[in-house]
Amino acid sequence: MKGHGPDSLSPETKISAVILDLDGTILNTEKATESVLEEFLAKYGKEVDPGKEENRLGQMHNESAASIVKDYDLPLTASEFSKEIMPMYTARWPNAKALPGANRLISHLHKHKIPFALASNSKRENIGEKLSHHKGWTELFSVILGSDQVKSGKPSPDLFLEAAKRMGVDAAHCLVIEDSLVGVRASKNAGMKVVAVPSSVRLADCYSIADCVLHSLLEFQPELWGLPEFKDWVQNALPIEPLHVKGLLSGIPNDSSVPLSIIPDRATAVSLPDQVSGVYFGWAILSTHGIFKAVVSIGWELRGGIANRVIQACLLGEFDKDISGEQLELWIVGYIRQLCSEANASTAFEIFPEDKSNAEAALDLPIFSYDEDLPIFSY
């Protein structure tokens, strides 16, 4: 993937406003609703084709509906398909959580009075419904636009150009943050700078037209775009909204210096956002050993076009027996850094001594402390 910012940013192209996509960029809608199409197609004796669905990422609903009906040879019109499936989607929207770094970015832009808009290929009514489940989001955006409010949705530039117009900012001074290729193309068609945070890991190498490609919003550095930098790091650690991981430990017994693999349970595999990538830390609860500090690397490994989630953890403590195969519950409360270069898969997920030292020190601070009475630890 590309680096974190442009090679150079001339005064003529200084960023004055930011435009965010919604689904897959700041809201984990895909995870919350990913089983909907599978359940719907099963009623017609059909199975989901993951490749076809990846290619539909970012499309407008009407366009997507027509292609689904055609691709799966459904005995429905696109309108009938939409009428049947939309209630299934809307029922899941309350479960869609903010993606890591989304609330941080929104609060940061608002605090520094940077105009920022939401421009989505969803209909405006549906955007409003999704936003209603996230306190403050509707009020904080300078502009909120859906595809039904312009002549053409993405990849047409209409949405982004209209957002810029309503904010009173020239398109050349806008930075777009997108997760889909459709959105990235729309951004470039509008003459804007664009940061891509791909929601499809397998397609990440296809985002070469973006000015910058990141794994996660936690990697975004606004100062590289002439925007105020984040000042929320605590020593060498970034507080994040807690992530919950459960699974089985697999690896070398009785050696805290060697990372253990975590085989996630189904709930974790379904709920953990694809955009969670990097080296994190938190609290590990072992079924027979109690609570330990932990450093965790999370990312994706691509082999033969197939993406596999990789989760490795170093538990900062000593064990008097083999813990491999034990049940583990992990609360991730902080972020340290992005993963190493993925050119060498064997070292991409490596956890360094410095990571352990940073995690050890951070977890002694009140902001990262473990308290079983807190709501985040009450599952």
For residue 224, give both structure tokens: 């590289």
Closest to 16 measured CA to CA, from 185, 211, 167:
167
Closest to 13 measured CA to CA, from 230, 189, 224:
224
Residue 290: how many other CB atoms lie within 10 Å: 9
Residue 243, SS3 per DSSP: strand
For residue 89, give both structure tokens: 């989607």
Closest to 148 measured CA to CA, from 27, 61, 28, 87:
61
Catalytic residue, chosen from 7, 23, 148, 265, is 23
Q: At what angle do helices 61-71 and 78-90 cross, to 10 degrees?
A: 110
Q: What are residue 175's DSSP bridge partners? A: 18, 193
Q: Compute the distance between CA of residue 83 and CA of residue 125 in angstroms, rounded to an integer.
A: 15
Closest to 287 measured CA to CA, from 247, 339, 250:
247
Catalytic residue, chosen from 7, 21, 211, 232, is 21
Q: Does residue 21 have an active-site annotation?
A: yes
Q: Which residues are catalytic?
A: 21, 23
